Structure 1
Amino acid sequence: MRYFVRDGTLFIRGRFRAASTGVGGGIADVTTVLNHTVPHDFQEDPVRRLELITAWHGVFRDYFGLLTAVDMRHLCVLQYDYVTVFITAGVSNPTPSPSTPHTINIIAYSREGMADAALLETIITATGAKAWALHHLGYDFPGTTTDAVVVACERDAEPMHTYAGTLTEIGRRVHEAVLFGLPEALARQQGRVKREGPSFFIYSRYGGDHWVEWQKENCPYHPCHFAGQRCDYCYCPCYPCGDEDLGEWVNSSNGGSVWGCAGCTLLHIPEVADYMKRNPEATLAELKRFRERL
Structure 2
Amino acid sequence: MRYYLTQDTLIVRGAFRACSTGENGGIKNVTSLLIHQVQPSNPSNYLRLIRNTAYRRGLSPEAAFGLLIPEQSTHHAVFRYDQVTLFITAGVASEDPGSREIQSAGTSPNMDITTRIICTINGHLEDRDLLNALITVGKVEMETSSGDKKCTGWDRRGIIIGSEYSGASPSNNPENIGEKIFRATSYGAGYIRELFLKIPGRSSITSSFHIHTTIGGDRWIEWDKKGCPYYPCHFRGQRCDFCYCPLYPCEDETLGEWTTGSRSSGRVWSCAPCTLNHQPVVVHHLRRNPEASSSELISLLANYPLK
Q: What range is the shorter-chain TM-score in?
A: 0.7 to 0.9
**Over aligned residue pairs, what C-alpha RMSD do you find?**
2.8
Amino acid paired to 1:177: A
1:212 to 212, 221, 226: 221
TM-score, normalized by length of structure 2?
A: 0.83
2:188 to 181, 192, 198: 181
Structure 1: 5+ residue stretches without partners:
none
Matches within 5 A, 1:70-149: 70=71, 74-92=75-93, 103-135=114-146, 137-138=148-149, 143-144=154-155, 147-149=157-159
CA shift for structure 1 position 80: 0.5
1:199 equivalent in alignment to 2:200: no
CA deviations on 1:174-199 (whole Å, 9 max, x unpaired) are 11111111232344556729897421
- Higher mean displacement: 251-260 or 219-228: 251-260
CA distance in 2, matches of 1:140, 1:188: 12
- Residue 285 of structure 2 is matched in structure 1 by 275
The residue matched to 1:241 in structure 2 has which SS?
A: coil
The residue matched to 2:154 in structure 1 has which SS?
A: coil
Question: 1:140–1:69: structure 2 CA closer, same or farther, 3 Å change rule?
Answer: closer
- Higher mean displacement: 132-141 or 28-37: 132-141
- The answer to whether the 8 Å contact 2:42/2:98 transfers is no
- Residue 39 of structure 2 is matched in structure 1 by 39
Matches within 5 A, 1:212-291: 212-253=221-262, 254-291=264-301
Structure 1 stretches of at least 4 aligned residues deviating more than 3 Å after TM superposition: 41-44, 70-73, 97-102, 136-142, 155-163, 186-191, 193-197
Amino acid paired to 2:177: I
- Higher mean displacement: 113-122 or 62-71: 62-71
Amino acid paired to 1:263: P
Structure 2: 5+ residue stretches without partners:
100-111
- The answer to whether the 8 Å contact 1:19/1:152 transfers is yes
CA deviations on 1:218-237 (whole Å, 9 max, x unpaired) are 31111222222111111112
TM-score, normalized by length of structure 1?
A: 0.87
Identical counterparts, % of pairs:
38
Matches within 5 A, 1:48-59: 48-59=48-59
The residue matched to 2:50 in structure 1 has which SS?
A: helix
- The answer to whether the 8 Å contact 1:132/1:142 transfers is no
The residue matched to 1:75 in structure 2 has which SS?
A: strand
Question: 1:237–1:109: structure 2 CA closer, same or farther, 3 Å change rule?
Answer: same
CA shift for structure 1 position 54: 1.0
